[in-house]
Amino acid sequence: MKKSLVLLPGPVPVAQPVLEAMAWPMINHRGVEFADLLARLERQMKPLFGTQADVLFLGSSGTGGLEAAVTNLFDPGDVLLSVPVGVFGKRLATIARTYGCEVEVLDTPLGASASAKALAERLAADSQRRIKGVLLTHNETSTGVQNEMSALADAVRAHGALSVVDSVSGLGAARFEMDAWGFDVVVTASQKAIAAPPGIAMVAVSERGWSAMERAKIARYYFNLPVAREFARKGQTPWTPPISVFYAVAVALERYHASGLDANFVRHATYARAIRAAFEALGFTIFSRSDAHSVTVVAAEPPSGVDATAFLKTLRETYGVVLSGGQGELTGKIVRFGTMGDIGINDLLGAIGAVELALADLGAASQRGAGVAAASAELATRVAAGAL
C-alpha cells in the first residue's frame, strides 16, 4: 500500500506509541488497575476542559456524548435555542428534536461565527424564561469556523439557561474555560485534538448540570450520566469500556501534557495560519470569515476552474494526501485540511507541495512553490521563537 498522509479533521494521525498501547493485554474493568487508569485520565482531561467538575468517559464517538448531554439535561417539550454555524451544530439540534425538545434556531451565515450580540438579544427577549437550554458549538468542523466562546458564555449566563457545548473538534487545540465561562455540559472525543483513535467521548458536567440531570425524566439507559458518575466514583464505567482505547488515550494525554497546553494551542493555531497562507497564495478562497478562523481545520474553495472533488481525488490517488471535502450544502464546493493529530512541519509542507502538484495536474494557473513558500514563512517565525 502506498504511504499516505491523512489530514482529516478527525480521525487524525495517531503516534506509534499511542497505537502500540492498543495492543496491551486486557485488564479487569472492575479492578484497581482500571480504576487507576480512569482516575489518571480524568485528572489529565480537566485542564483541557478548564474545569474542576467530573469528567465522564463514554464508550462511543462524539455524537454519543452529545446525545447523552441532551437526553440527561432536558425533557420532551423543553424549549431550546440552537445556535448552529454548520452541519455539526445542526446535528446537535436534530438530536434534541429527536428526543421531543422544541428547538428554535438562531441562524448564522455559513462561514461566520455565532454573534454574541444576536444571542444576547434573543435571550434578553425571552422575559418569560421559556428557553431552558442553549446549544452551542465551539469549533464547527464543516465550515472551519471557531466561535468566541467567552462572549457567547456571557450572553447565556445573563439569561440563566442551561448550556451544552460541542467542543469535539476544539478542546485541546484551543483554550477552553468551562468553569470560568459557566457552561453546563461540554463534550469532546478521543479522535480529534487529543490525537488518539476513535471510541471514547468525554463529557464534563457542572454542578448546575448535575442538578438538572437528577430532575430530568426523559428516557435514557446506556447514556445515563448520573449512573455513569456513580460508577466513576468507584473507578468504573457502568458498561464494559473500550479498554484498548482507554490505554491509547492515556498515552496520547501523556504526550499532550509533555508539551503542555500552551504549546498545543500555539501549534494548532500556527499550522492553521500556515495552511491558510498556502491556500491563499495558490488561489484558494478561505471559507471562514477573517474573524472566525478555526485552529483545527481550514476550509477553502479551490481556485476558479478547479473542481473540488477532482482535486481531492488527484491529491489522494496520485500523491497519497487525504484531505476532506465539504459536507451538507458545501459538498463538492470546498476542501478541508485538518491540523490535528501527530503531524509535524514536514508533513504540512509535504502536503502543501502535493497540493501544488495536484493543482498543476488539473491545469490550474497557481504558481508552483508559492504555497510552500507562504506556509514556511508562517512556520519560520514560530520556529525562530522556539514555539514549534
CB 209 within 8 A of CB 187: no
- Give, as one character, the DSSP assignment of residue 222: T
| Closer by beta carbon to ligand PLP, 10 or else 133 | 10
- Per-residue x/- track, 78-97, ligand PLP (CB under 6 A): ----------x---------
Beta bridge partners of 301: 285
Asked whether position 10 contacts ligand PLP by CB under 6 A, the answer is yes
Asked whether position 147 contacts ligand PLP by CB under 6 A, the answer is no
Which residue is at the shortest CB distance from ligand PLP? 62
Measure CA 232 to chain center.
24
Least CB distance to ligand PLP at residue 69 (A): 11
How far is it, in rounded angstroms, from Cα 242 to Cα 238? Answer: 12
Select from 19-27, 45-53, 161-169, 349-357 the region that touches ligand PLP (CB under 6 A): 161-169
Least CB distance to ligand PLP at residue 169 (A): 3
Asked whether position 61 contacts ligand PLP by CB under 6 A, the answer is yes
Least CB distance to ligand PLP at residue 92 (A): 8
CB 146 within 8 A of CB 181: no
Alpha carbon of 358 to those of 247, 282, 368: distances in Å?
A: 38, 11, 10
Q: Which of 71, 169, 270, 324 binds ligand PLP (CB under 6 A)?
A: 169
Q: Which of 8, 189, 245, 248 binds ligand PLP (CB under 6 A)?
A: 189
Total of residues contacting ligand PLP (CB under 6 A): 13
Asked whether position 62 contacts ligand PLP by CB under 6 A, the answer is yes
Q: Is the sign of the CA dihedral 282, 285, 287, 290 positive or negative?
A: positive
| Closer by beta carbon to ligand PLP, 88 or else 256 | 88
In the block, cell 508533513 appears at 347
Burial 354-379 (b: 16+ CB within 10 A, else e): bbbebbeebebebeeebbbebbbebb
Least CB distance to ligand PLP at residue 239 (A): 18
How far is it, in rounded angstroms, from Cα 86 to Cα 327? Answer: 9
Please count the other Cβ atoms lying within 10 Å of the Cβ belonging to residue 255: 17
How far is it, in rounded angstroms, from Cα 149 to Cα 152? Answer: 5
Least CB distance to ligand PLP at residue 114 (A): 13
What is the end-to-end Cα distance of the chain in Å, rounded? Answer: 31
Select from 24-32, 59-67, 262-270, 369-377 the region that touches ligand PLP (CB under 6 A): 59-67
299: CB partners within 8 A, 6+ apart: 142, 143, 144, 145, 286, 287, 288, 326, 330, 334, 335, 336
Residue 203 grid cell? 463529557
Select from 113-121, 123-131, 165-173, 212-220 the region that touches ligand PLP (CB under 6 A): 165-173
Q: Which of 166, 301, 356, 378 binds ligand PLP (CB under 6 A)?
A: 166
Asked whether position 338 contacts ligand PLP by CB under 6 A, the answer is no
In the block, cell 466562546 appears at 149
Site for ligand PLP, rule CB under 6 A: 9-10, 61-63, 88, 137, 139, 141, 166, 168-169, 189
